[in-house]
Structure 1
Amino acid sequence: MIAVSDAEHVAEVIESCTMEFTAHCCELHGSPPFGALVRVESHPVVYGFVYEILTHSIDPMRRPIAYGKSEEELREEQPQIFELLRTDFKALIVGYEYENILRHALPPHPPRLHSFVYTCTRDEVRRFTTEFDYLRLILTFSRAIGDELLIATCRHAWDAHDRKNAYLVDMGKELARLVRDDYDRLRSILRRITL
């Protein structure tokens, strides 16, 4: 884990439960990418993979409307519009760290509201994804985007491990073990990780 002062937070937790959290981004369109590993500085430190990104109005009663203009034109003609928008993201909790021990499991308590969220560094992603226990948590995620999230997180992990073939083979073996009853699904997942 890196020191909090070494990085700027990208968001703040505004809703949390045992399995996931929602964070409000500091900047409009400032979310980490889909599938990115993020950490919440709470007690314990909580890790999650971004699975949904949403930009919307800050006022639920006022939906944005189409103006038929480019973003640049709107910023010039009606800059106040962008003050009324925000970007949030949701992350699936896949682990936590307590007393310097990293666990690929749900934490005993969800992240606290107003805790800061950081995009994990390459080294943090490498450390978190060295073991593959987090894959099972993603596979059991029952949302329609489960496989898409799995593929995106595997790509981020493979990148953090310098796209080494040995890591990809080990990850493939673990995925084969976890989805052994669905060959077509496994084949699709493995093929799309390497695209």
Structure 2
Amino acid sequence: MKGRLPRTRAFTLVEVIVAVGVFAVAVTAALGLLSSQSRRASDLDDAQTAARLGTGIQQELERLKTAIGIEGLAAVIPPAESDAPMQLAAPRDGHRVLRCDGAAAAADRPLNDGLLPGIAWRDRFFLAEISQQLDLPFAAAAGYLAVTARISWPHRLPAGPATQAAVSPDADPSQMVPAAQRDTLTLNFVLRP
């Protein structure tokens, strides 16, 4: 008898196909977990930015108070039961908060204004609806104006590419997100004369 070489066992085609299938399922599951974790991290970032909007809201209310006085501000901020609260907008980074309703809305100013540029509609990610607190209505003798800010996001989302040289806030398309699909946060403020 001739010397036989020991026979080495190899993987069968079925074993290879099963191994590749298991590997593909594992990779798909891992990618699915990563994308959901990424979404949760993004949601957490947005919630933290919304919580930090308090300073910007306070600054915008103070700017308006300086311009029209505490009585004037109390006149434009409706009571809590109103269907038309005063509205402020902020971009996703939360660095600027400007009034976006009314005749002279600061958010509607030209985007290239050197003094106080507006906020493009496509960038109005946060919406803060301001109303007077129901239990603490404004009285000039009281010495304060108590307001509530209901912040919701996302308010608007881009609906196409941005125009680089846009001057008008409504130059680029945006899509408003229905109120029922937004996250919310409520903050309270007190303004003194």
TM above 0.5, yes or no, is no
- Which one has a bigger Cα radius of gyration? 2
Whichever structure has more strand as a proportion of its residues is 1
Instruction: Give the TM-score normalised by the residue count of structure 1.
Output: 0.26
Higher relative contact order at CA 8 Å, sep ≥6: structure 1 or structure 2? 1
